[in-house]
Amino acid sequence: MKVIFHPRFCEVYTSDPAAAPGRMEPMVKALEKEFEFIEPEPASERDLERVHGKSHIQYVKADPLVYEIGCLAAGGAILAGELAFDGQPAFGLIRPPGHHASPHSCWGFCYFNNIAITIKRLMNEEKIKSALVLDFDLHYGDGTANTFNGSKEVSYFHPEGTSQQSFLNEVQTSLQTENSFDIIAVSAGFDRHEEDWGGLLKTEDYLTIGRWVKEASLERCLGRRFGVLEGGYNHSVLGRNVKSFIQGLSE
């Protein structure tokens, strides 16, 4: 299991909660002893253009720091996806998050859609034809859904059960979709944790979800699976939550 991380993700590039100081460090601390860390290269403008319009890219470029870190985050997701395709499960410990970034707009602390850019690149390289996106963040990933709206190849699932059990049931049902997929990409947001904004899931639930993703990938797509960080704002529990998910995903 590889963790994709760059020290620049610790930079405070805006004043939103995803960019808050001290958010990444506890996750690095929780993971660095057990997992191998790899540094990504920034995504190229060509990578961005497979998902985003030129005017959106120009809009983000107007803030050079956000653009630089945003390209690095997308590059981190790409590296996680490429490793996963090669049979090595991986997790992109990246920010800014991406699931609220649509082709021509963005909001919710997102700029570029890291997961969508990765899937489009793997498709462009003719490595995959289809993908399943499981988004367990508290918030609906409208950017990812918009990017793949009407696509038969990419299935986007955002479980919304309001009890712990119904939420987990929905996660399982999503992974049992009849649609075929060549890789599983997880938008891993930890803001649904009982001590975060959503107040629902326990730390061990992320281990369970990680295991289910791993099992589904072994059954359906040669074990190809990766995750990328989306939300999660309580710095005191993020480390153990992300570790729990990655352990399940990797075991």
Distance CA 211, CA 234 (A): 24
Considering only 98, 231, 239, 248, the residue that binds Zn ion (CB under 5 A) is 231
H/E element holding 186? Answer: strand 184-188
The DSSP code for 41 is: P
Classify 229 as helix, strand or coil.
Answer: strand
What's the CA dihedral at 114, 120, 124, 129 to 10 degrees? Answer: 130
Cis amide prior to 97 (ω within 30 degrees): no
Stretch that binds Zn ion, among 74-82, 132-140, 161-169, 179-187 (CB under 5 A): 132-140
At closest approach, how far in Å is the CB of 152 from Zn ion?
27
Task: Output 14 or 130, the one with its CB closest to Zn ion.
Answer: 14
Bridge partners, residue 186, by sequence: 134, 227
Residue among 37 and 107 whose Cβ is closer to Zn ion: 107
Among 131, 134, 138, 154, binds Zn ion (CB under 5 A): 138
Assess contact for 226 and 80: CB atoms under 8 A. Answer: yes
Measured from the CB atom, is 92 or 189 closer to Zn ion?
189
Q: Which is nearer to Zn ion, 127 or 235 (CB)?
A: 235
Among 47, 82, 135, 137, binds Zn ion (CB under 5 A): 137
Please report whether residue 139 would count as binding Zn ion according to CB under 5 A.
yes
Stretch that binds Zn ion, among 119-127, 164-172, 216-224, 228-236 (CB under 5 A): 228-236
The stretch near Zn ion (CB under 5 A) out of 1-9, 130-138, 205-213, 215-223 is 130-138
Catalytic residue annotation: 100
Q: Is the Cβ of residue 47 or residue 191 nearer to Zn ion in the bound state? A: 191
- Given a contact cutoff of 8 angstroms between Cβ atoms, the answer to whether 217 and 184 are in contact is yes
| CA dist., res. 246 & res. 238, Å (int) | 12
With binding defined as CB under 5 A, does residue 196 bind Zn ion? no
**Position among 189, 198, 210, 248 found at the interface with Zn ion (CB under 5 A):** 189
Q: How many residues touch Zn ion (CB under 5 A)?
A: 6
Contact positions with Zn ion (CB under 5 A) in 79-118: none
63-77 core/surface letters (b: 16 or more CB in 10 A; e: else):
eeebbebbbbbbbbb
Residue 210 near residue 247, CB atoms below 8 Å: yes
Query: Could you list the residues that contact Zn ion (CB under 5 A)?
Result: 137-139, 189, 191, 231
